[in-house]
Each structure stands twice: as structure tokens, then as C-alpha cells.
Amino acid sequence: MVDVVNLQGGKCVEIFLDVLVLENIVMNYLILLMTAKFSKNKVSHLRLFSGALLGALYVAFLVVCPSFEGYYTTIAKIALSLAIVAIAFSFERFTAFFKTMVMFYISTFIFAGAGFAFLYFNHSGGFVRNGFFYIYWNSKWTVMVLCVATVGIIVKIFWDILQSRLVKDRLLIPLKIAFENGSIELFALVDTGNALFDPLTHVPVVVVEFKAIKSILPEEIKTIFEQSNEDDLVGITKIVSDSRWFSRFRLIPFTSLGKENGMLIGFKPDYIEVGEKTDKKGVTDVIIGIYNRALSKSENYNALLGPDLV
């Protein structure tokens, strides 16, 4: 399907709607994928595709029905971005939604800036109409590929700088936890106040949020936390004693984390890796304590790591 757009000066441009939709789906998907990376959101690729498709269909609708001027307004575009983010991601708190929206706009500006830069240096290939940016057929795929490549390089450099600063400052450190056939990677805060040790083996304890580690836990252990029964010592003892992982689980007393005389369920992983690249350190003598609350309001980290493990 083809639509003809009249530009200023009487020039006409043919827009292939199927290509326009495909192009926007690809770019929107990449923007949402970058948003997920920046905001550290767990993503479903189907939901990302659904959000990308919504944005693409919106642009196609405005090309076919340009008389609907209300849909070109700033309010309409903000509403569209809210809908795209709401479809693409799931949220438990408004603060997480707001953070993701900010990352979505940052990602959009990065992609848009790269696209405009290539068109500017190329001196052809696109135009802006009613606040939307269109690329001509004879250059759009070249611009898209160069745009994606440039954004990838920018994001890689930015991410490496950010990560290296965090590691250098010893605030946040990458942490990998392996248990049986599964493993997870997250960020841990080096906490000088974390002096937890397993009372039986006297090895250090790394405190990790349940939601961050649940994917590698046995189903019977997940049930304890999903039903918020971690304070039921009798029930916990029975579940753990009946589990085939009995020898790897511990009960660890603690008097911090906003609670006195508490008890953490812990387990011995296969190993953990602390740090990254050349500074990576493997540790086997460690216990993972599972905490069923958020450790960071800003969600910058999901674990507390004692300085002895760094």
C-alpha cells in the first residue's frame, strides 16, 4: 500500500506503508530493548514486540488519516509513549514506571540523534512532517543500519564507563551466582556492615533479594517466599528437611536489615564470581542468604556483599 505525502515546495513523496510499519517496528523494538538494558527490567520479547507494533501502527494511521490533527499534539504523543512502555514492561511500583519512562525517552533521543546525524551528513533521505520523522526509500535501510551500529557503539562505551566507575569506587560490583544448572548475574553493594556468617561452617553470607534469585531456586523453596512464610520456622524446617537439597540449605540468624532476631534461609551455591573481567574472583566457600524484601529503593543493586569477599 502506498500513500503520497505533499511536502513544502510542491514536492511529492511516496510512502510505502508496509515498509514504514516494518521500519518502525524494528526501531521501536531496539529502543525498547535499550530501555530494558538501562532500566534493568526483565523483559518479555513478545511484550517488547507488542509495544513496538503499537508505535508503528500509530505512525501508519497518521499517514493514512492526516486530518486527525488531535493525534499530532504533544499530549497525544506522551500518551502514546506511556501506552508503549506500559505494554512492553510490567511494574509493581510507580517509581519503577517513571524510571523506565525516563530511560525510554533517553533511548529514543539517542536513536533519533544518530538518525538525524547520518541524514545531515548524507544531505538527503528524510523529512519531518507534523512532528514525525520519515526516511526516503532509497536511503532508509542504510541510515537504519548505520544508526543502529552507532547507537550500539555509544551504548557500549557509555555502559563500560559507568560500570568501571562503579567498580572503581567499590560501591557496586557484578556478582554471578551458580546453583545446579542455573546461574544469575546481578549487582551487589559492598557493605562494610555485612558481617553475617553461617553459624555452622563460619563462611561468609551474601544477602540476595528473593526476586533476583528466584529463577534458580528449587520450587519448594520458592513457595516459602512466594507465600511470605519465611518467618514460619516450623514450616520452613519441614519443607527444607523434605527437600533433596536439604544438605545445602541453612537457617542463619540475623539482627539487621530492619529486623531483630530474624532468620534467613540460606543455601550453599556451586560457586559465586565477584567482579568482572581481569578482576573477577571465584568463591566456593560462601552461603547465599535469601531476603524477601528490596535492598535498594533505587533498585541499583540486589545483594549485599561483605568486604572480605572482594
- In this prediction, residue 269 carries a pLDDT of 92
Which pLDDT tens digit goes with each residue over 275-284? 876 678 889 9
- Residue 125, pLDDT above cutoff 60: no
Among 62-76, 84-98, 125-139, which stretch is predicted with the lowest mean pLDDT?
A: 125-139
Regarding predicted confidence, which is higher, 10 or 262? 262
Same domain, 121 and 149: yes
Q: With a cut of 60, say whether residue 166 has pLDDT above it.
A: no
- CB under 8 A, 24+ apart: contacts of 37-41: 37/155, 37/159, 38/103, 38/106, 38/107, 39/89, 39/96, 39/99, 39/100, 39/103, 40/299, 41/89, 41/96, 41/100
Report the alpha-carbon angle 245-246-250, nearest 5: 110
Q: Are 210 and 138 within one domain?
A: no
Claim to verify: residue 41 and residue 153 sit in the same structural domain: yes
Give the DSSP H or E segment for 59. Answer: helix 45-64
Rounded to an integer, the average pLDDT of 198-204 is 85
- Residue 8 has a pLDDT of 45
pLDDT at 86 over 80: yes
Higher pLDDT among residues 299 and 138, named by residue: 299
Question: Is there a single domain that holds both residue 163 and residue 184?
Answer: no
Eight-class DSSP state of 4: E
Could you tell me which residues are beta bridge partners of residue 266? Answer: 250, 289
Q: Are residues 233 and 275 in the same domain?
A: yes
- CA-wise closest residue to 59 among 128, 125, 147: 128
- Look at residue 273 in the predicted model and tell me its pLDDT: 92
Query: Same domain for 120 and 7?
Result: yes
Note the pLDDT tens digit of each residue in 33-67.
Answer: 888 887 777 778 899 999 989 988 887 787 777 66
Is residue 240 within 8 Å of 264, Cβ to Cβ? no
117, 149, 167 - which closes a domain: 167
Report pLDDT for 134.
Answer: 54
Q: Are residues 148 and 197 in the same domain?
A: no
Give the model's pLDDT for residue 4: 43
Question: Quick check: 71 pLDDT over 50?
Answer: yes
130 and 176 in a common domain: no
129, 145, 167 - which closes a domain: 167
pLDDT tens, residue by residue, 203-259: 899 999 999 999 998 888 888 888 887 777 777 778 878 777 788 888 888 765 555
Supply the pLDDT for residue 68.
65
The C-alpha atoms of residue 218 and residue 207 are separated, in whole angstroms, by: 18
Q: What is the pLDDT of residue 5?
A: 47
In a shared domain, residues 188 and 163: no
CATH number of the domain bearing residue 184: 2.40.70
pTM of the model: 0.47
Give, to the nearest 10 degrees, the angle between helix 45-64 and helix 74-88. 160
**Are 211 and 64 in a shared domain?**
no
Domain span including residue 59: 2-167
147 and 175, same domain (yes or no): no
Residues 154 and 229 in one domain: no
For range 80-109, the mean pLDDT: 86
The number of domains in the chain is 2
- pLDDT reading at 296 higher than 50: yes
- The residue out of 167, 199, 216 marking a domain boundary is 167
Reduce the DSSP state of residue 131 to 3 states and report it.
Answer: coil
